Amino acid sequence: MFRRVRTGVRRSPVATRLVAIAAMLLVAAAAHLATTAEPVGRWVPLLVVGVVGAVVTGAPARLWPLPAIWLVATLLALTRDAPVDSSAAVVALVVGAAALLAAIAVDLRPVLRARRRRGAA
C-alpha cells in the first residue's frame, strides 16, 4: 500500500516537497507542544502524521533529520518567554537525543558495511 502511495507522490516532485516540508513542520510543532506539557492527545497525532508523511514521501533520504528537527524545536521552545514544564522539556530533550543517536547509527550502518567490504576485497 505504501509503495503505491509513495510512487504516486513521487510522480509530482512539487507535491513531494510540499508534503516533506509539512511533515518536518508537524514534527517541530509536536516537539514544541510536548515541551510546553500539552496533553499527549494534542501533540502525538501531530508527530505521527509528520513521521508518516515523511515516510510516505521518502522525504528524508536519511533518518536523522526528523529527530534533529525535534531537538531544535525543543531547544527553541526553551528559549521563549512562554511557560515551559521543565520535566516535560527534559523528557523531550532526552527522547530527542536518543532518537537522534539511534537514527545516526541506523544511517551509518550501510556506510560502515560498505567500507568493511571494500577493505576486505
Return the pLDDT at 53. 85
Q: How far apart are CA 50 and CA 40, in angstroms?
A: 15
| Cell of residue 44, nine digits | 502525538
Q: How far apart are CA 22 and CA 30, in angstroms?
A: 12
In degrees, rounded to 5, the angle at the alpha carbon of residue 18 between the alpha carbons of residues 10 and 108 is 70
In 10 A of CB 33, how many CB atoms? 21
Residue 17 gets the label, from left (phi > 0), alpha (psi -120 to 50) or beta, of alpha
Residue 60 has pLDDT above 80, yes or no: no
Sorting pLDDT into bands at 50, 70 and 90, what band is 64? confident
| Cell of residue 96, nine digits | 530527542
- 0.85 exceeded by the pTM? no
Q: Residue 89 belongs to what H/E stretch?
A: helix 86-120
* DSSP codes of every residue in 28-64: HHHHHHHHTT--HHHHHHHHHHHHHHHHHHT--SSST
Residue 13 has pLDDT above 70, yes or no: yes
Residue 59 has pLDDT above 70, yes or no: no
Residue 41 has pLDDT above 80, yes or no: yes
Return the pLDDT at 71. 93
